[in-house]
Amino acid sequence: MSANPATICINGQWQNAKNKQTIDVFAPSNGKKISAIARGDAPDVDFAVKAARAAFEGVWSKTPAVERGRLLSKLSAKIAEHANELAELEAKDTGKAMKLARNDIAATVRYFEFYGGAADKLHGDTIPFLDGYQVIVNRVPRGVVGHIIPWNYPAQMFGRTIAACLAAGNTTVFKPAEDACLSVIRMTELAHGVGIPPGVINLVTGLGHEAGAALASHPDLDYLSFTGSPEVGTQIQKMAAEHHTPCVLELGGKSPQIVFEDADFDKAIPVIVSAIIQNTGQTCSAGSRVLVQKSIYDRFVAQLADKVRSVRVGAHDADLDCGPLISGAQCERVKGFLARAQADKIPVLAEGAIDENAQPGGYYVKPMLLGPVDPAHELAQLEVFGPVLVVIPFDDEAHAVQVANGTAFGLIAGVWTENGGRQLRVAKQIRVGQVYINGYGAGGGIELPFGGFKRSGYGRAKGFEALHEYTVTQTIVVNHG
């Protein structure tokens, strides 16, 4: 890594935060300090927004779409060239197993590839109007976009937000999470290396209530994207409302996997387990509730429990099924949920194992399968953000739909049944942004529009939909006589 991670990047210049302060970065696998990042704050954010504004009005709005696309494609190739280095950085910084980090970098490459190709394919419309008129509807960039992202998938989040935002012609101020952002710092450097002009991507690292709050409340933002906890999502909307800044929010989920009596167990079980242990459960679209029809409950749960018992947790470089959690605080949060479940006498059906070589000081928890859980219990309602899967029995289709929809969230869902009519009937009744039938796509599918219903947020990321989020229409009415 050549850019000093303890610096921020404004207008292409790497510099200390104005307060010269830094934040230590720890490796989740052993709790040891591995780096330090700059503790940017309001003055840095203000400077960054000004740089993004100047770049938007200057170079970037004058760069043709085809050229913006080429620059993003070049960045895609550059990230691919540095895939090993970036995957190692991502794994060490987040604790995730190397194979997942490799997948994440491959997805990041894909984001820049997809939006590089899409940049010059986004077009407007015409509308038939009165005689003597021509109406043109242009899709124009929003302008300066703020991004506040979490620590669970830093590299992918950089791809998901930056690639679409820049393809649509916006410039950005990017505030990654203080708990993990080393890959983002490196990719910002690579972006400048391939010729993305200074000021188009400005990176300000720092704490949520400092740099994050300064960005969300900045008066000169045209749009704000946030991914993270529902609690902070509420604060973000209040801050943005001061200046009527529109937002796209992705606030997590409590996504159900619904298993009907005619499901193919052998197909379903490995996918269901991997959808909760992926990234140690720290995935917004983790499948964290499994709803099982009562007629197969005992048989299905016995097989599911066997699979959970086979899960191994270890250091990022041990490359087992999953790694540690991101931080001591996250570990405490997950253990708190488990302690309350124990106090409420929820049966533990199975637990995975922590590798004997996992180092003390790392933030390890065992994957757990619990159930039956009352659908009203917090374990069935709240995002644990850890490898904790709960089982909930149901009677029939109507009951399954009621339980599936019975949380404040609505991000994604899985439906497991070989009955074609039921597949679509159930899918259409579930209030979530994506439904998978006989499969599950936690995090997958760059091409697929992604986002929530209800408290999971609003607006859409990914696919062509994201280009619509990052643009607005401007209608031009010509009276040509």
- Residues annotated catalytic, as ranges: 250, 284
- Where does this chain touch ligand NAI (CB under 6 A) — which range of 81-89, 119-127, 226-234, 339-347? 226-234
Q: In the bound complex, what is the minimum distance in angstroms from residue 409's beta carbon to ligand NAI?
A: 9
Place of tokens 């619509």: 468
Residue whose CB is less far from ligand NAI, 215 or 349: 215
- What is the distance between the terminal CA atoms of the chain, rounded to a whole angstrom? 62
Distance (Å, whole) CA 412 – CA 272: 13
Give the contacts of 311 (CB within 8 A, at least 6 positions apart). Answer: 273, 277, 321, 322, 352, 353, 367, 387
* Residues in 272-331 that interact with ligand NAI by CB under 6 A: 284, 330
Q: In the bound complex, what is the minimum distance in angstroms from residue 371's beta carbon to ligand NAI?
A: 21
- Where does this chain touch ligand NAI (CB under 6 A) — which range of 69-77, 100-108, 230-238, 421-429? 230-238
Q: SS3 for 141?
A: strand
Distance (Å, whole) CA 456 – CA 162: 21
Can you spell out the DSSP letters for 168-192?
Answer: TT-EEEEE--TTS-HHHHHHHHHHH
Omega before 367 within 30 of 0, i.e. cis: no
Residue whose CB is less far from ligand NAI, 309 or 333: 333
Tell whether residue 383 is a contact of ligand NAI (CB under 6 A).
yes
| Parallel/antiparallel/unpaired status of strands 201-203 and 412-416 | unpaired
Among 229, 274, 295, 359, binds ligand NAI (CB under 6 A): 229
Tell whether residue 177 is a contact of ligand NAI (CB under 6 A).
yes
Q: In the bound complex, what is the minimum distance in angstroms from residue 226's beta carbon to ligand NAI?
A: 7
Residue whose CB is less far from ligand NAI, 178 or 321: 178
Q: 469, 461 in Cβ contact below 8 A?
A: yes
E strand segments, 183-282: 201-203, 223-227, 247-250, 255-259
Q: In the bound complex, what is the minimum distance in angstroms from residue 254's beta carbon to ligand NAI?
A: 10
Other CB atoms within 10 A of residue 298 CB:
10
The two structure tokens encoding residue 137? 């509807």
Q: 145, 216 in Cβ contact below 8 A?
A: no
Q: In the bound complex, what is the minimum distance in angstroms from residue 434's beta carbon to ligand NAI?
A: 14
- Where does this chain touch ligand NAI (CB under 6 A) — which range of 93-101, 127-135, 175-183, 438-446? 175-183
Tell whether residue 209 is a contact of ligand NAI (CB under 6 A).
yes
- Where does this chain touch ligand NAI (CB under 6 A) — which range of 170-178, 337-345, 396-404, 418-426? 170-178
Distance (Å, whole) CA 71 – CA 52: 17
Q: In the bound complex, what is the minimum distance in angstroms from residue 252's beta carbon to ligand NAI?
A: 3
Interface size with ligand NAI, residues (CB under 6 A): 26
What are the residues binding ligand NAI (CB under 6 A)? Answer: 148-152, 175, 177-179, 208-209, 212-213, 216, 227-229, 232, 235-236, 252, 284, 330, 333, 383, 385
